[in-house]
Amino acid sequence: MKSEPIRVLQVVGRMDRGGIDTMIMNLYRNIDREKVQFDFLAHFGREAAYNDEIRAMGGRIYEMSALRDEKRVFFWRFFSYLRALNKFFREHKEYKVIHGHMTHTAALYMPIAKKNGVSCRIVHSHSTHSKEGLLGLLTTFLHKFATKDATDFFACSKAAQKWFFTDEIINSGKIHLVANAIDAKRFRYDPEKRKIMREQLELGDNLAIVHVARFRAEKNQTFMIDVLQEALKVRQNITLIYVGDGPLEDDVKAKVKACGVDEYVRFLGMRGDVQDILQAADVFVLPSIWEGLPLTAIEAQANGLHCVVSDSLSQELNALGMVKYVSRDDMGAWVDALFEAGKLPRRDTYDEVVASGYDINSTVPWLQEFYLSNS
């Protein structure tokens, strides 16, 4: 008789094409689902971009009200959130492995999972910085307790590991660096596809600068409008392309309008064909104030794109030697770096991505065995 797969509960915000969400989906699509099945404890209470695909692959999605919305923290939700968590884990004793991607909130759901018999409790650090404002104060407080009831500890980079975990945990032997792996074949550079996409996007001979991310404060998208204005003093045939959505999208659009650069900027929204849009690009940019290890920059390099990023980002990002780090205090250096990157030859980097350990086929076998041996 065929045995049922183990079910691993992924604790997430929502599965909406963000970097963490896409990384989880890369794993989910490639794992042996006859042995390991993913279910999702999702927050924020609305349908998300990946939900239909998750259900089609046999995953279950459970909605959990969040402690906050996109902009505000609701302290009055705290006790109702704890009651909902207790109810969920009492009713779902089938989970022996929980993989927590909402790291600070792990201070709340991990002890409840432990009390209800979840034997493997993973906290996964995807970042290097707390949020700002009231939410930052809350997460800083929760940080102190987030790892107390975990059994295993994952991080996307050494920087994310150092930021979130104590030296005692790092030296415990229970911590693992898990690369933000991609399906490298999907992002492989294709000159014919590039030609088609540039025609579709009507880019002509413009320098196409692409940024892929949610519109959030730490992503610093308005900075690129300032860079664009400086670059336009040198040449006019430039198109800045934003891919994604988020709570600050309207703010960025307002700045574009106020600066009078509408004709040079495209907002493509949330897309399921990022790999094709990257084909059309000449350079990828990431001016973030902080990141863990951004999946989008790995995808860009897998597409043969040179990247210009903030110098506050991890050096681990430069696995293929295609990343130029620039200070956000030096606008001229950003302009120079963009023009230089746009002149560099495109190349097929597939073998390099595989060798660097960022291909999904390097990560999935290890993770699958980890889940199975700890279930």
Average pLDDT over residues 162-188: 93
Given a cut of 70, whether residue 138 has pLDDT beyond it is no
The 10s digit of each residue's pLDDT in 305-318 is: 999 999 999 898 99
Average pLDDT over residues 171-185: 92
pLDDT score recorded for residue 47 = 83
Which has the higher per-residue pLDDT, 222 or 127?
Answer: 222
CA distance linking residue 187 with residue 276, whole number of Å: 8
Given a cut of 90, whether residue 119 has pLDDT beyond it is yes
Average pLDDT over residues 55-68: 89
pLDDT category of residue 80 using cuts at 50, 70 and 90 = confident
pLDDT category of residue 154 using cuts at 50, 70 and 90 = very high
Average pLDDT over residues 144-168: 92
Given a cut of 90, whether residue 2 has pLDDT beyond it is no
Given a cut of 80, whether residue 139 has pLDDT beyond it is no
For the chain, percent helix, then strand, then coil, each to nearest 5?
A: 40, 20, 40
| Stretch among 10-14, 27-31, 142-146 having the lowest mean pLDDT | 142-146
Contact 219, 213 (CB under 8 A): yes
Going by C-alpha positions, the residue among 358, 290, 349, 298 that lies closest to residue 323 is 298
pLDDT category of residue 73 using cuts at 50, 70 and 90 = low
Phi/psi of residue 206, each to 5°?
-65, 150
CA distance linking residue 97 with residue 370, whole number of Å: 10
Within 8 A by CB and 6+ apart from 77, the residues are: 65, 66, 67, 68
Contact 221, 211 (CB under 8 A): yes
Q: pTM for the whole thing?
A: 0.88
Average pLDDT over residues 10-33: 94
| Stretch among 61-75, 81-95, 122-136, 360-374 having the lowest mean pLDDT | 61-75
pLDDT score recorded for residue 66 = 72
Given a cut of 90, whether residue 44 has pLDDT beyond it is no
DSSP 11: E
Given a cut of 90, whether residue 53 has pLDDT beyond it is yes
Residue 269, phi-psi category: left (phi > 0), alpha (psi -120 to 50), beta (remainder): left
pLDDT score recorded for residue 327 = 97
| Separation in Å, CA 184 to CA 284, 300, 349 | 17, 10, 9
Contact 42, 10 (CB under 8 A): no
CA distance linking residue 17 with residue 24, whole number of Å: 10
**H or E segment to which residue 10 belongs:** strand 6-11
Alpha helices, H only, the chain: 19-30, 51-56, 78-91, 106-115, 133-143, 158-164, 167-170, 191-200, 222-231, 249-258, 274-280, 295-302, 331-343, 350-356, 360-373
pLDDT score recorded for residue 254 = 98
CA distance linking residue 337 with residue 187, whole number of Å: 23
Within 8 A by CB and 6+ apart from 336, the residues are: none
Contact 308, 326 (CB under 8 A): yes
pLDDT score recorded for residue 86 = 96
Residue 183, both tokens: 């399906």
pLDDT category of residue 334 using cuts at 50, 70 and 90 = very high
pLDDT score recorded for residue 136 = 54
Average pLDDT over residues 253-282: 97
Within 8 A by CB and 6+ apart from 97, the residues are: 6, 8, 9, 118, 119, 120, 122, 371, 374, 375
Strand partners, 97: 8, 120
Burial class (CB in 10 A: 0-12, 13-18, 19+), 67: buried
pLDDT score recorded for residue 1 = 59
